[in-house]
Amino acid sequence: MDLDDFCRRQSQAVAEFNQHEQRSDGLRVATSLCAGLGLLRDSLFIRMHEDVERVLGRDSMLMPVSEIKAQRLTKIEIEVYQIVESGVAAGEFGYTGATEWFVEWLCRLRLAADQVTPAARKGLAQYLSLSPEKRVARFEGALAKILPESTRAPLVLFRLFPLCVQIATALAFGDHGRAPSLRNAQAAVLPAIVDCRKCRGRVLENGESCPGCGNPLWKFSWLTSVD
């Protein structure tokens, strides 16, 4: 990543956010959201790629032609999905009155100009037009094409992930009431997450993760635990 480019994008985005949203805490919101979404993107990639190969073994039939290309495309696809999921959450939870503006804003913050490919643009528009269930289904379908081994990851990963993005968004806006109720919704999907001796499944600040269970995106052994 070009750090200068990222810093320039971030300071522009902060100024734009403060002006459009009539707020003064754009730096805090943008920094927190980037820390949360960056960690989720990288963790999801690890769960779908390295963990699948480590735990289930490498399936030569499913190896992508170019790992580097697959990684780059996968991370863009995750960003695009997260941008829309976060934007919809920001609108629904009342953090912004302008969901589509927020999505565009987050796109400028999270993606470099050369990452906003025609395919990424198309993905953004499609995700925005879909229901939450269809959005995650499209996400899984897009990942399966780019990173075939993602289809071997535990299905529960894709039930937890939208809520992970919503929690990161709530935390970025300092909504400490909503974040734990979203975590409870995750515990209803995967009860084992509250059993971690280190974090007890509590909501961690954006950018923090639990070395025990992987919270905010649980390690493979936790995803596959059955009560």
199 lies in the site for Zn ion, by CB under 5 A = yes
Nearest-angstrom CA–CA distance, 147 and 150: 6
212 lies in the site for Zn ion, by CB under 5 A = yes
H-type helices in 47-98, by residue range? 52-56, 67-92
205 lies in the site for Zn ion, by CB under 5 A = no
Stretch that binds Zn ion, among 4-12, 60-68, 110-118, 206-214 (CB under 5 A): 206-214
Minimum distance from residue 58 beta carbon to Zn ion (Å): 28
Stretch that binds Zn ion, among 81-89, 116-124, 136-144, 199-207 (CB under 5 A): 199-207
191 backbone φψ class: left, alpha, beta (φ>0; ψ -120 to 50): alpha
The single-letter code of the amino acid at 83 is I
CB burial of 74-101 (b: ≥16 within 10 Å; e: otherwise) equals bbbbbbbbbbbbbbbbbbeeebbeebeb
Contact 187, 169 (CB under 8 A): no
Angle at which helices 3-21 and 26-46 cross, to 10°: 130
Closer residue to Zn ion in complex, CB, 124/210: 210
The single-letter code of the amino acid at 49 is H
Closer residue to Zn ion in complex, CB, 144/192: 192
Residues 167-196 that bind Zn ion (CB under 5 A): 196
210 lies in the site for Zn ion, by CB under 5 A = yes
Q: Pick from 8, 72, 121, 198: which binds Zn ion (CB under 5 A)?
A: 198
The single-letter code of the amino acid at 119 is A
Stretch that binds Zn ion, among 39-47, 106-114, 127-135, 208-216 (CB under 5 A): 208-216
Minimum distance from residue 96 beta carbon to Zn ion (Å): 31
Stretch that binds Zn ion, among 19-27, 50-58, 172-180, 215-223 (CB under 5 A): 215-223
Residues at the site binding Zn ion, with contacts judged by CB under 5 A? 196, 198-199, 210, 212-213, 215
